[in-house]
Amino acid sequence: MPKPEKLIVKIENVHKAYGKEKVLRGISMDINESEVVVLVGPSGTGKSTLLRCINQLTVPDSGKVWVDGVELTNPKTDKDKARQHIGMVFQDFNLFNHLTTLDNIMLGLVHVLGMKKEEAYDKAMLELERVGLANKYGSYPGQLSGGQKQRVAIARSLAMEPIVMLFDEPTSALDPELIGEVLTVMKDLAEGGMTMICVTHEIGFAREVCSRIVFMEHGEIVEQGLPVKMLNNPDMQRTKDFLGKISVLD
């Protein structure tokens, strides 16, 4: 018996423009618990903007967004509180440069969740172990490789016990030989049942791990579906052209 599906993220008719440039033109999407959604599309189609609209780092011009039943687009919602449990991983890592890896993880635990230092320390060490970097607890971001930085960034988000994780091109800034270690961590997460929305061009990851591929172009969803269908025989010619192109790179 599959458990009844629980809606985690609901996006309803979201529009966003920067000046005259319409980046999102009415995006709607439902994401259920434990779903792993991969957003693909040419650059400049609004994938990253859509991710940032989910946790309201970018405020949409119109439309609504719910995460775990809370409407984030409602002005009365405490957005800081909502963001505590929406993890986000960035293309360029954005680790706090002046803090060790351990302190990077502890900062939110102590100053956002109000944990005691000792408790936060234990939790942070646990998260570092989970991404295989417990031995790097005292290193500063500048002393880590790109792959290690991204794993620490993932650990930092996971420590906050997110209900959904947003990945914004998590491997695009990495040297090819470092991509694998980050994808492995993401795969483990997905297998552990984490709800994930990933902007990525890693088609291998999409094929193996994700439950749905969403193809976006010009601020609209062109087509979405199971990876098998989207990669092998999509309905739209545009989807086929684009996925065909990036699959060659894979």
Partner 1 sequence: MEVLTVLVPYILRGLSITLEVTAVALGLGLFFGSILAILRVYGGDLLSRVLTLFVTLLRALPHILLLLIIYFIIARVVNLSAFWAGSLSLAIISSAYQSEIIRGAIQSVPGGQMMAARSIGMNRIKAIWHVIIPQAFRYAIPPWSNEAAIVIKDSSLVYVLGVPEILRQAQYYSARTYQPLTAYVTVAAIYFLLTFITNRGLDLLERHIRIPT
Count CB neighbours of 19 within 10 A. 5
Count CB neighbours of 116 within 10 A. 10
Closest CA to 166 of 8, 22, 7: 8
DSSP sequence for 65-88: EEETTEETTSTTS-HHHHHTTEEE
Residue from the set 156, 181, 194, 215 that interacts with partner 1 by CB under 8 A? 156
Report if residue 157 touches partner 1, rule: CB under 8 A: yes
Binding mask 191-210 for partner 1 (x = CB under 8 A): --------------------
Report if residue 90 touches partner 1, rule: CB under 8 A: yes
Residue 45 or 56: the one with the smaller Cβ distance to partner 1 is 56
Residue from the set 81, 116, 117, 245 that interacts with partner 1 by CB under 8 A? 81
Report if residue 114 touches partner 1, rule: CB under 8 A: no
8 A C-beta contact, residue 105 and residue 124: yes
Element of type H or E holding 228: helix 227-232
The sign of the CA dihedral 58, 188, 127, 102 is negative
Residue 84 or 184: the one with the smaller Cβ distance to partner 1 is 84
In the bound complex, what is the minimum distance in angstroms from residue 85's beta carbon to partner 1?
8
Residue from the set 37, 38, 40, 86 that interacts with partner 1 by CB under 8 A? 86
In the bound complex, what is the minimum distance in angstroms from residue 145's beta carbon to partner 1?
13
The sign of the CA dihedral 45, 49, 53, 58 is negative
Residue from the set 28, 97, 145, 233 that interacts with partner 1 by CB under 8 A? 97
**Residues at the contact surface with partner 1, assessed by CB under 8 A:** 55, 57, 80-88, 90, 92-98, 107-108, 111-112, 140, 142-143, 153, 156-157, 160
